[in-house]
A and B are shown apart, each in its own frame.
Chain A
Amino acid sequence: MSVLVVAEHDNKSVKPATLNAVAAAAELGTAGAGDIHILVAGEDCRAAADAAAKIAGVAKVLIADDAAYGHGLAENVAPLLVSLAPQYSHLLAPATTQGKNLMPRVAALLDVMQISDISGVVSTDTFVRPIYAGNALATVQSKDPVKVITVRGTAFPPGEAEGGSASVEAVGGAGSAGLSEFVKAELSKSERPELTSARVIISGGRGMQSGDNFHLLEAVADKLGAAVGASRAAVDAGFVPNDYQVGQTGKIVAPELYIAVGISGAIQHLAGMKDSKVIVAINKDEEAPIFQIADYGLVGDLFKILPELDAELAKTQK
């Protein structure tokens, strides 16, 4: 039987997290599962479906184009997935806020347990997933007939966005369940890369002291083409919006380079970034736990170090 991946998209294009989920689906294929299909449920989402059809390794794209699916309301999209489920052995979605919102609703309607946030595929019914903020890894086996799964993006290198030529097939669903409606979105606007797909991230913590001081990080971020993140402390203090938060219950990231500035390194923060390839810590407290996992530590006053770093990067980029 085939594997269905629920695309993360904005109706116009497919979000990078989809490629990580497709990579997990490809591992399931290696373990014996069938073809990979992608569901694009949205409103005026033909462009996103066409983009999904180009993803390497995808056999078929299902497009469900309906105003009721435009904002991805779980009450409306879950019944659509339930109606498609009998044809699939596995239903996958990225472990984004969208996937986390939708998939448990689907699982319960199918009377199965979801397997959340998998970081490894052992076989078609056995998976590895982090628990306790990543301080332990559980290998779990599902006894349910259909596996409903969310995928930790950082654990599966993204598949290729180009090279496929899947067919696109329209599917219909019941549309609106009449339970909920979208009111508005206030999305952070940024020219910088998205946190979860950035090659370099520079994050600030309580040590930044105010939101205004984040411009010091932004200057360095722009030199490095980096995304800007934050610890929970910085978000709770109102320095930056919630979507900056990296950690156990925020975003999980694993860039090539993660620079933690004024972040002490609570286990909940480390849970969100400890799989980064190279970690740099800048902190005035040399006892800060962040130094225990940093590849390169620099002890000192960030208000002095950040401008120096900015200048040094400017020098080497000439």
Chain B
Amino acid sequence: MKALVAVKRVVDYNVKVRVKADHTGVETANVKMSMNPFDEIAVEEALRLREAGTVEEVIAFSAGIQQCQETIRTALAMGADRGVLVLTDVELQPLAVAKLLKAVIEKEAPEIVIIGKQAIDDDCNQTGQMLAALLGWPQATFASKLTISNGSAEVTREVDGGLETVKLKMPAVVTTDLRLNEPRYASLPNIMKAKKKPIDVFSPDDLGVDVTPRLVTLKVEEPVKRQGGVKVGSVEELVTKLKTEARVI
């Protein structure tokens, strides 16, 4: 069976983002970009399935501007077999990405789709669930363990109260949480090899998908900055201050 992973190009998790002066968004010029960390976990999980013999081929998907190809190359350098890029300058929102994914999945017919649970830029946490809905497939979000056998996927999910295990009919969509695995680094030889791996490029029109945004961002602002307080010298002083000054205990 084939596995498809979706990878998003986002501002690197170590970058402290700054809101643009004109309040239209955050500064992304000259900022380090990386693969969304949850998507790295998705790629790693697909590679492990291939290494275990469950999956024969891993396809890495991304959508957006030309530079998203670099994010696909990163997935290929980690070990994915080939890429699919949907090229567009339009701001893509999760519903549009889910529709693009659906169109590609209908061509490629993977049996398992693995996606990060959330992108660390828009923090939406939607695409996997939306894709599963559009395909009429089952979903397991926030996965910390994935086992595939006999046409079904057993997935342990990180939920508010602890862990929950569900069993899904295949094909299925799984979204990754932090504890699913620890992604590998791409080795230099694999980075070189990745340059030769094929990437198919489509436009949203090729796939017959309308990607017009449904949400309009009216403005983006900085939150109120929290001011640092004081250092206290002792536990006794801390408890006194919490009692008499902050009045929280």
**Which residues of A are in contact with B by a Cβ distance under 8 Å?**
71, 73-75, 78, 96-98, 100-109, 111-117, 126, 130-144, 177-188, 196, 200, 224, 232, 235-236, 241-243, 248-249, 251, 256-257, 267-268, 274, 277-280, 286, 291-299, 305, 308-309, 312-313, 316
Of chain A, the residue at the smallest CB distance from B246 is A278
Cβ-defined contact, A138 with B248, below 8 A: no
CA–CA, A12 and B17, complex, Å: 43
Cβ-defined contact, B220 with A112, below 8 A: no
Question: In the complex, what residues of B have CB within 8 A of residue A241's CB?
Answer: 162-163
Cβ-defined contact, B239 with A248, below 8 A: no
Cβ-defined contact, B16 with A185, below 8 A: no
Cβ-defined contact, B123 with A296, below 8 A: no
Is the contact region of chain A dominated by helix, strand, or loop, or is it mixed?
mixed
Other 19 A-B pairs with CB < 8 A, given A75-B132, A112-B214, A135-B17: A78-B133, A97-B158, A108-B98, A116-B125, A132-B26, A135-B223, A138-B219, A180-B140, A183-B167, A184-B165, A242-B163, A243-B158, A248-B123, A257-B248, A279-B229, A291-B228, A296-B241, A297-B229, A312-B239
- Minimum CB–CB distance from A188 to chain B (whole Å) comes to 4
Question: In the complex, what residues of A have CB within 8 A of residue B235's CB?
Answer: 298, 305, 308-309, 312
User: Would A135 and B134 be within 8 Å (CB), given that A256-B248, A298-B231 are in contact?
Assistant: no
Cβ-defined contact, B215 with A296, below 8 A: no
B225-246: CB near A (< 8 Å → 1, else 0) gives 0101111101110110111001
Question: In the complex, what residues of A have CB within 8 A of residue B88's CB?
Answer: none
Is the contact region of chain B dominated by helix, strand, or loop, or is it mixed?
mixed
CA–CA, A200 and B140, complex, Å: 32
25 contacts between A and B (CB under 8 A): A75-B138, A100-B125, A102-B129, A105-B129, A106-B133, A109-B133, A111-B95, A116-B123, A116-B126, A132-B26, A133-B120, A134-B223, A136-B222, A142-B214, A186-B164, A187-B163, A232-B178, A243-B160, A243-B162, A248-B123, A257-B242, A280-B238, A293-B226, A295-B246, A296-B229
CA–CA, A53 and B13, complex, Å: 43
CA–CA, A60 and B215, complex, Å: 30
Interface residue? B218 (CB, 8 A): yes
Cβ-defined contact, B163 with A104, below 8 A: no
Cβ-defined contact, B161 with A296, below 8 A: no
Cβ-defined contact, B215 with A105, below 8 A: no
CA–CA, A187 and B160, complex, Å: 9
Q: Give chain B interface residues in 110-127, CB to chain A under 8 Å.
A: 117-118, 120-127
Cβ-defined contact, A249 with B118, below 8 A: yes
- Minimum CB–CB distance from B185 to chain A (whole Å) comes to 17
User: Would A126 and B218 be within 8 Å (CB), given that A242-B158, A257-B242 are in contact?
Assistant: yes
- Minimum CB–CB distance from B44 to chain A (whole Å) comes to 15
**Which residues of B are in contact with A by a Cβ distance under 8 Å?**
11, 13, 16-17, 19, 26, 38, 93-95, 98, 117-118, 120-134, 136-142, 144, 154, 157-169, 177-179, 213-223, 226, 228-232, 234-236, 238-239, 241-243, 246, 248-249
Cβ-neighbour of B220 out of A133, A138, A181, A267 (below 8 A): A138
Question: In the complex, what residues of B have CB within 8 A of residue A251's CB?
Answer: 160
Cβ-neighbour of B242 out of A135, A179, A296, A297 (below 8 A): A296
Question: In the complex, what residues of A have CB within 8 A of residue B213's CB?
Answer: 113
Question: In the complex, what residues of A have CB within 8 A of residue B19's CB?
Answer: 136
- Minimum CB–CB distance from B149 to chain A (whole Å) comes to 13
Of chain A, the residue at the smallest CB distance from B213 is A113
Of chain A, the residue at the smallest CB distance from B239 is A312
CA–CA, A242 and B158, complex, Å: 7
Question: In the complex, what residues of B have CB within 8 A of residue A268's CB?
Answer: 13
Of chain B, the residue at the smallest CB distance from A117 is B123
Cβ-defined contact, B126 with A114, below 8 A: yes
Question: In the complex, what residues of A have CB within 8 A of residue B218's CB?
Answer: 126, 139-141
Cβ-defined contact, A236 with B179, below 8 A: yes
Cβ-defined contact, A104 with B159, below 8 A: no
Of chain B, the residue at the smallest CB distance from A184 is B165
